[in-house]
Amino acid sequence: MNLEEFYAQIGGDYADTLQRLCNENMVKKFVKKYQDDPTCADLHNAALQQDWEVAFRDAHTLKGVAQNLGFERLYQVSAVLTEAMRGNKPLEDRSLLDAVEQQDAAIRRAISELE
C-alpha cells in the first residue's frame, strides 16, 4: 500500500500532511516512526494505575502527534479523551480510551502494510 492508500484507510488527511511535512519521504519517515511511539501504551498503563495526571499528559501528547501526522480519526478520539480528563479528572467513560486504542491499533496495522 502506498501513502495515499494508507491515509485513505485510516481516515487521515494525506494532502494536508504532505503540505505540512514538505515531501513524501518525510511523511513516510514519520509515519513509520509512529510504530515505535509508546504513548498509547503509556496512556493505557496510566489509566489502569489511575494516574490521571500522566494519563492526561499522554492523551494530550497523542492528540498532538495524531494532528501533526494527519491521523484525523485518532486525533478526534484523543481530543475527546483529553478534554474528558482535563484537570486530572478520572476517566469516567472507558469507551473513550477504547476508541483511542482502536484507532491506534488500526494505524499500526496499516503501517505494517506500507510499501
Residue 46 has pLDDT above 90, yes or no: yes
What's the mean pLDDT in 8-19? 94
| Grid coordinates of 93 | 467513560
Reported as a single tens digit per residue, the pLDDT across 49-96 is 999 999 999 999 999 999 999 999 999 999 999 999 999 899 999 999
pTM: 0.93
| Grid coordinates of 115 | 510499501
AA identity, residue 11:
G
